[in-house]
Chains A and B, each alone.
Chain A
Amino acid sequence: MGSVEFNHVYKYYKGESNPSVHDFHLTIEDGEFLVMVGPSGCGKSTTLRMLAGLEDVSKGDIYIDGKFMNYVSPKDRDIAMVFQNYALYPNLTVYENMALGLQLHKVAKHDIELRVNRAARMLEISAYLTKKPNQLSGGQKQRVALGRALVREPKVFLMDEPLSNLDAKLRTQTRMEISKLHKQLNTTMVYVTHDQTEAMTMGTRIVVMKDGNIEQVAPPQRLYDSPDNLFVAGFIGTPQMNFLQGTIATHDGEYFFENKRLKLKIHDSYIPHIKAANRKIREVILGIRPEYVACEGWALEAYPEWQASAIIDMIEPMGSNTFLFATIGKDTVISRAEPHTPIQIGETVKLVIHMDKAHLFDCESGVSLAVRGDR
């Protein structure tokens, strides 16, 4: 049992006029794997540290398992945290590192042994139990840090960028292991990262943050498919979503996205949103993911009303597919193409922009037109 509730939480650091965390309001269900993601300095760590009790809450309430936590000291919150630089005690062996928390909670000695050994086996660190942390590699230290949290069997696991000190390969591997661990244990985890890949692959739900504000909370696929605003749209997904500036125009009752070089018919499914937005013509930004910008012949034939001509600037073969960097006027558009594309740099091509997958954002506020006022 480990639900967490943030009730309009604010954090003002001493001497700072702007809040580092602004109106953080969220309920985390028991057993959820919640990922907080956002650029560096957006307040993720601060939020996590408030939950851990390492920072005071300036305003608002935090509940763990229904209990009011604001004034409970960290050691009594029944949580375990994994830090970015592991924070292993250098003077203790791996075994002692993992056992310390249990000793301090007065767990019986044989029980400690049992739990440490079980966690060590799970994380494949049994061979290092007698070593000191400085004799371990980064990946091994990381596992010990995880193990130390694991043996505690807490209500909630907190992790603050635990993988950012590992190299790419190890990161992918450990990422999967943490996900697996979560499935086994089914304990609530709150995971902080600035890496959107980690967020997408691990989270059952993702909180995107920016400048202390929550931008959107949604499961990974929802976040990808229907971002609430420009920031989320640009932050999630590599390569980034393409953005084109323009206006919405009506011709003979039909809606079009227009700018100097483009005139694309807006898909029927989007028209209710435009109508609901309830202003006639306005500046908008069109967002389209690279996989929905096509250059293949069949697409050109199928969607004549969604075409744009572009000049190919650069080609990035990734092996499994190729990214084409094209310019339409001043804007750069990335298109995901087949791996063996015959297209050459400098060529002028026709691109199909799949308007049924496009997003329209209000130019001023950056909010998606698909987001209604009630949200």
Chain B
Amino acid sequence: MIRKIRKQMTLSRVVLIVFLSCIAVFMLLPIIFLFNNAFKPLNELFLFPPTIFVQHPTMRNFEQLLLHTAAGVVPFSRYLFNSLLISGITLVAVVLVSTMAGYVLSKHRFHFKRLIMALIMISLMFVPETVMIPRYLMMSGLKLTDTYFAHILPFIAAPVAVFLMKQFIDQIPDALVESAKLDGATDMTVFTRIIIPLTAPAVATVCIITFQAVFLDTETSMNYITNETMKTMAYYVTAFTSNVPGVAAVSISAAVGLLMFVPNLILFLLFQRKMIQTMLHSGVK
């Protein structure tokens, strides 16, 4: 075993591994810094030169955060609740819509399929800013401003997710679907028993990109929502860190920075292996 490892350890390999390890540590620094900052007492936060590691960890920053109420009335927990609810519902909806649409677009023959694919491709090309105003007009026309729908609906139209799922499902041989149909499967059975298990890596990828997009989105809260109780944590954080002056802001933003980061981390750790599979060979042989 050891001999085998030694055999593979040529000089160039060693150099490569050392080099990559250095980069990895460097990339890890902000995360380490983020975690430590959240638990630093006020005096350590203002220390110069700043330290990376916390010396006297404390929960004071989080206490401050929970006590703080934006605009005098809305507690922080409301923003957190909004964010988690919106992200959760959107995630489920996007996964459902994109996998089903991907399956139909990939494995079914129907009229206007090429047109629909072309529309999806075109919508991929729009910069978000260009659709902001039309979207606002639609939202207010539908009287959906200041509701959760304003947060959720725009994200469900996810051309990237549909496109990704379609490309991935394309790689499942048609014969597999046909064989299942001859075995007596309905479309729903094919979808749940064959397509979804085989595209798990792509589903994981869709989960991660969707969650990040929704969880970090501030535009919606800024543009379509005037009611403070319907806004999200991402909005709260940006608004807070840019508006509130003073010493208290620094300690709260240290805590909130970690809170913004943790859900992403959890999701990524959950799906990371699957996601790497997507990137590596993105295929079912």
Give the nearest-CB partner of A134 in chain B: B285
Stretch at the interface among A3-11, A99-107, A183-191, A204-212: A99-107
Question: A80, B182: Cβ atoms under 8 Å?
Answer: yes
Distance from A50 Cβ to chain B, minimum over Cβ atoms (Å): 13
Q: A91-B198, A100-B193, A104-B189 are in contact. Are A74 and B173 (CB under 8 A)?
A: no
Question: A90, B185: Cβ atoms under 8 Å?
Answer: no
- Most chain A CB within 10 A, of B176, B186, B189, B285, is at B176
Measured in the bound complex, the distance between the Cα atoms of B188 and A143 in whole Å is 28
Interface string of B158-190 (1 = CB under 8 A from A): 000000000000000101101111111110010
List chain B residues, Cβ under 8 A from A79: 182
Stretch at the interface among A64-72, A81-89, A122-130, A318-326: A81-89
B175, B184, B193, B197: the one within 8 Å of A83 (CB): B175
Interface size on A, residues (CB 8 A): 23
Question: B178, A74: Cβ atoms under 8 Å?
Answer: yes
A52, A75, A85, A91: the one within 8 Å of B185 (CB): A75
Q: Is B20 an interface residue (CB 8 A)?
A: no
A87, A105, A134, A152: the one within 8 Å of B178 (CB): A87
List chain B residues, Cβ under 8 A from A134: 285
Distance from B219 Cβ to chain A, minimum over Cβ atoms (Å): 39
Q: Is A54 an interface residue (CB 8 A)?
A: yes
Question: A90, B198: Cβ atoms under 8 Å?
Answer: yes
Interface string of A43-55 (1 = CB under 8 A from B): 0000000001010
Interface string of B176-219 (1 = CB under 8 A from A): 10111111111001000110011000000000000000000000
Give the nearest-CB partner of B186 in chain A: A75
Instruction: Summarize B's interface: helix, strand, loop or mixed.
Output: helix
Give the nearest-CB partner of A83 in chain B: B175
List chain A residues, Cβ under 8 A from B194: 89, 91
List chain A residues, Cβ under 8 A from B184: 75, 101, 104-105
Question: A152, B183: Cβ atoms under 8 Å?
Answer: yes
Q: A104-B184, A105-B184 are in contact. Are A83 and B179 (CB under 8 A)?
A: yes
Distance from A80 Cβ to chain B, minimum over Cβ atoms (Å): 6
For this complex, 27 residue pairs linking A to B, each with C-beta atoms less than 8 Å apart, are A52-B178, A52-B182, A54-B178, A73-B181, A74-B178, A74-B181, A74-B182, A75-B181, A75-B186, A81-B178, A81-B179, A81-B182, A83-B179, A84-B175, A85-B173, A85-B175, A87-B179, A90-B284, A91-B198, A100-B180, A100-B185, A100-B193, A101-B182, A104-B183, A104-B184, A104-B185, A104-B189
- Pairs of residues from A and B, 8 with the lowest C-beta to C-beta distance, nearest first: A101-B183, A104-B184, A87-B175, A87-B179, A91-B197, A75-B184, A83-B175, A74-B181
